[in-house]
Amino acid sequence: MAKKKKVKIKIKNIILLLIFVCAFIFIGIKFINNEPFVVDLKTTNYELDGEIKIDYTGYFKKEKVTDNIEVEHKIDNSKIGNYQVKFIYTRKNKEYVVEKTIKIVDKEKPVLTLKNGDSLMIVLNNEFTEPGYEANDNYDGDLTNKVEISGKVDVTKEGEYNIKYTVSDSSGNKAVTKRKVIVTSKSPLTMTLKEYTLNGYYNNVLLKETEMASEEYLSDFVYVGDSTALYYVMNKVISGKYLWHKEGLTLNDVFTQKIYINHVTSNKTIVENITSKKPKKILLMLGTNSVATMEVDYFISQYRKLLQDIKSASPETLIIVQSIFPVASSLDSTGKALNNDKINKFNYHLLKLCSELNIPFLNTAEALKDANGQGKAEYFRTSGNENGVHLTQVGNQVAMDYFKTHVYEN
């Protein structure tokens, strides 16, 4: 009996203890849920670099006391993260404090840019070279190496192909864009003079129309070439101090002929001058004297060597290759080796070479042609000893305006 009585007493004590604990928890919860000072936030998320104006309402025992609350925080709106904000209300010399968490968030997606446009054409069975892209984020900075590329181009089959580019920043904001690649059997090599165009082909290097160049962009160019470059000065389009030239220069003797700088002999070749002077930018104007005497494969092999030598001599120099200018119809019609059909073919192969070497190509030739694909009469010198190869002052100004509105944008 004594044992049973002891067991009953223990059970009774345990029950009393449980009742006491539950009552304590209930009272505690009730106390917590009845804090006299509370703060309600309209929002807890604020945008990166935006204005931090915390919208809140404060109550003390259900009485609205918003205007009497002091707010303390050290929020840096230029950095993503969680920040603690203190709301302090004083009543009868007693402080009541509520803490809330505010988040600085980034909702802006990265800027994903495709170099040389969102569409390009390549000729059937020619290599596809990715033109390039850039991705920049307002918070993470350069994300170019985070870009994911999907899609393939089958250069053995005509058709349209889409390449998809995707990049996300550290906050999960995603940017997506596409490039259309058209594989076509229609080649500039088989086009008539009237239909000939380079637009759309090898867009990774073919310079597109832009806003007018700034003086800063133009100020550190040198104009390097044969008499094509010389006439820019003769027609007073540029100053002689920017001219590096040698009349009659071909892709055969370019490696040995000494050139003139501002009409004074330099006793150095083009590459030797580039090696010593390291110009920031050059506009290369060569080819006219070579078209009539060279086969295109040899011409391209020589031009390739020149470009590689220049890049090796001064890796930081920006090279822009200018297309070979057309000739006036009066010369083209004579049936001589220097004619516009041949010039067009050389220019296509020159563009293709620039694409392989990733060197910008300036297609000035298109601005100098008439509706039939011939050199526009008023742009070319045809009187006296001139035979329709060199530009008039008007023609040179057109060429310069084209250069100024087809800026290289890295």
**CA 390 – CA 327 distance, rounded (Å):** 8
Phi-psi region of 45 (alpha: psi -120 to 50; beta: other; left: phi over 0): beta
Assigned token pair, 368: 């100098």
Query: CA neighbours within 13 Å on the CB side: how many for 34?
Result: 6
Please answer whether residues 406 and 207 qualify as being in contact, where contact means their C-beta atoms are separated by less than 8 angstroms: yes
Model pTM score: 0.67
How many CB atoms are located within 10 Å of the residue 133 CB?
A: 18
Query: CA neighbours within 13 Å on the CB side: how many for 193?
Result: 19
Please answer whether residues 174 and 375 qualify as being in contact, where contact means their C-beta atoms are separated by less than 8 angstroms: no
Query: CA neighbours within 13 Å on the CB side: how many for 367?
Result: 21
pLDDT score of 7: 54
pLDDT score of 1: 52
Where do the DSSP E strands lie in 226-376? Answer: 243-245, 260-261, 264-265, 281-285, 318-322, 361-362
**CA 158 – CA 155 distance, rounded (Å):** 7
How many helical (H) and strand (E) elements, i.e. helices and strands, does the chain have?
9, 21
pLDDT score of 334: 63
Report the candidate in 188, 205, 144, 152 with the shortest Cα–Cα distance to residue 169: 144
Domains and CATH numbers, the chain: 37-105 (2.60.40.10), 111-183 (2.60.40.10), 188-404 (3.40.50.1110)
Assigned token pair, 81: 């993260």
Work out whether the CA dihedral 224, 226, 230, 232 comes out positive or negative: negative
Assigned token pair, 271: 């590459």
**CA 286 – CA 271 distance, rounded (Å):** 14
Describe the strand order of the beta sheet including 45-47 as a list of residue ranges: 45-47, 94-105, 81-91, 70-73
**CA 39 – CA 60 distance, rounded (Å):** 9
Q: pLDDT in tens for each of the 410 residues of the chain?
A: 555 555 566 666 677 677 766 655 555 544 444 579 999 999 999 999 898 899 999 999 989 999 999 999 999 999 999 999 999 999 999 999 999 999 999 999 999 999 877 888 888 998 888 888 999 999 999 999 999 999 999 999 999 999 999 999 999 999 999 999 999 988 898 888 999 999 888 887 899 999 999 999 999 999 999 999 999 999 999 999 999 999 999 999 999 999 999 999 999 999 999 999 999 999 999 999 999 889 999 999 999 999 999 999 999 999 999 999 999 988 876 667 889 999 999 999 999 999 889 899 999 999 999 999 999 999 999 987 888 999 999 999 999 999 999 999 87
